[in-house]
Amino acid sequence: MEMPKATEEEKERFRRVVPDHPGVVVKPMFGNLGAFVNGNMFAGLFGSTIGVKLSPKDKEVLESSERTVPFGPAERPMGGYTGLPEMWNEEGDGDDTRARAWAGKALDYVASLPPKGPKEPKARASRTSKAAQ
């Protein structure tokens, strides 16, 4: 599975598209970026593609009205995420406005979901020392 890396220009565009909100955290992920709220990812960057997690209604509207793309590796796209149209990458600032609007909808939707709890630590196999035997 090939993992395309985003260029610095693509990362900057992603940061411009992500809403400026106090609860939003942008973190690196496998050479790309993810935008999180309450521990849940609402937008991500995979190579040059920005993906958003939308409510079922908004997802249907976007996917039925635009040339969206799968988000993530071609062999295994990320379920629940919609890749914004690739042509928006080429069309300029007007399309960044559309991308920002959809990222805002994704933020609103994911912020309404339960916060992600801390991961449980994995159980470690107990070691018995030879001295204890």
16-37: per-residue pLDDT in tens? 999 999 999 999 998 899 999 9
Entry pTM: 0.82
Kind and range of the H or E element at 44? strand 40-46
User: Cα separation of 68 and 120, whole Å?
Assistant: 36
Q: Does the pLDDT at position 129 exceed 60?
A: no
Q: Is the dihedral of CA 101, 20, 14, 93 positive or negative?
A: positive
Q: Which residue has the tokens 């630590």?
A: 121
Q: What is the CA radius of gyration of the chain?
A: 18
